[in-house]
Amino acid sequence: MMDPRDLEACNEAIRHGSLSFHAASKLLPKHVRDPALALYAFCRLADDEVDLKAEKADAVLRLRDRLDMVYDGRPENAAPDRAFAAVVEQFEMPRTLPDALLEGLAWDAEGRTYATLSGVRDYSARVASAVGAMMCVLMGVRDADALARACDLGVAMQLTNIARDVGEDALEGRLYLPTDWLDEEGIDREAFFANPCADNAVRRMVKRLVMEANRLYYRSEAGIAALPKACRPGIYGARFIYAGIAGRLTAMDYDSVSSRARTSRTQKLGWMAQSLALSGVSMVMPQSAVLYAKPLPEVAFLVDAAARNTAPDRSDSLFEALAALELRRQSDRATLLRG
């Protein structure tokens, strides 16, 4: 059982750190909302640990240790860790899912770039679809088709985030756009980092990401109708709120360099009302055949892990990423000692 004080701390962390999820979570039933807040608080902590820390390799390796402690049933003495440990125990959360998130953060720490859209989806599967699969576990959903659509939604949300943050990421020396797109547009990466601007080439790339996200938002809706009735409004809410950011980018003519795409509180309330209305309709409409579309290849391992409730050893790719960060940490320490 979660300590109510830990739950309140998680709620506060999400209220300040993830406005879109905090708004959508209000539509979830309490028995799902509370563990979802704990889940998102731990994921938010993980993301911030890597994003905001200068020593990113240390941050990821520390998160590995904290995740080990959670699954050993002896979490670190911090509200998100204790709350997430309670969720892991109560829902028998497959280890593959938070491990996937850890791997995505390791890729961030090493500054990995992605040659193709498939590579960007690989990354999105880890940092976003893994969370969507964990949300399904909290709802008691282990159906592979519903899980595949939840993973579609996760990838769509992450592509939206990437499209929204192109300018901010460039100023920080980060690149999530497929590098083959930059090559097609004749864009030099270092020149773009030095002086990001929303020229026609950059707008075309942002538009391509938004179009791909929109395709996956539409695909995800078939899966929402397969969720427990009480859970549908909250997930519709997340879908519409994040798609609203994509819509805002479209209205800005795909300029995510000069300004940041934002949605208003009034818009969020409107999408939440739409979510409630659509959830009622989905209870009586026949199920869409889109539900049975094959999962994206990049998310198939998440679907399999959540559907089968398997507990395999950590993947070779995760071990490789963590080993690379260990070597980097050792090299940095050796450099400091020599200095």
Q: Tens digit of pLDDT for each residue in 148-201?
A: 999 999 999 999 999 999 999 999 999 999 999 999 999 999 999 999 999 999
Average pLDDT over residues 313-324: 85
Higher pLDDT, 314 or 67: 67
Cβ-contact 41, 10 below 8 angstroms: yes
Spatial CA neighbour of 154 closest among 120, 186, 107 = 120
With cut-offs at 50, 70 and 90, classify the pLDDT of residue 286.
low
Q: How far apart are CA 317 and CA 64, in angstroms?
A: 14
Q: How far apart are CA 277 and CA 287, in angstroms?
A: 17
Q: What is the DSSP letter of 289?
A: G
One-letter amino acid for residue 298 of the chain: E
| Helices and strands in the chain, H and E counts | 17, 0
At 212-271, the pLDDT tens digits run 999 999 999 999 989 999 999 999 999 999 999 999 999 999 999 999 999 998 998 899
With cut-offs at 50, 70 and 90, classify the pLDDT of residue 334.
confident
Q: pTM of whole model > 0.75?
A: yes
With cut-offs at 50, 70 and 90, classify the pLDDT of residue 339.
low
Q: What is the DSSP letter of 110?
A: T
The pLDDT of residue 299 is above 90: yes
Name 322's Cβ contacts closer than 8 Å, sequence gap at least 6: 60, 61, 64, 106
Sign of CA dihedral 214, 217, 221, 222: positive
The pLDDT of residue 207 is above 60: yes
Q: Report the C-alpha dihedral over residues 104, 108, 113, 119, rounded to 10 degrees.
A: 10
What was the pLDDT predicted at 52?
Answer: 75
At 101-128, the pLDDT tens digits run 999 999 999 999 999 999 999 999 999 9
What was the pLDDT predicted at 13?
Answer: 86
What was the pLDDT predicted at 311?
Answer: 57
The pLDDT of residue 100 is above 80: yes
The pLDDT of residue 139 is above 80: yes
Sign of CA dihedral 284, 290, 294, 295: negative
Spatial CA neighbour of 48 closest among 296, 307, 56 = 56
What was the pLDDT predicted at 65?
Answer: 94
Higher pLDDT, 272 or 74: 74
Name 337's Cβ contacts closer than 8 Å, sequence gap at least 6: none
Q: How far apart are CA 192 and CA 178, in angstroms?
A: 14
Q: Tokens for 109?
A: 């720490």
Query: What are the structural domains of the chain?
Result: 93-310+323-338 (1.10.600.10)
Cβ-contact 35, 8 below 8 angstroms: no
What was the pLDDT predicted at 284?
Answer: 52
Cβ-contact 122, 298 below 8 angstroms: yes
At 41-79, the pLDDT tens digits run 998 888 888 887 778 889 999 999 999 999 999 999 999
With cut-offs at 50, 70 and 90, classify the pLDDT of residue 26.
confident
Higher pLDDT, 252 or 308: 252
Higher pLDDT, 89 or 13: 89
The pLDDT of residue 329 is above 60: yes
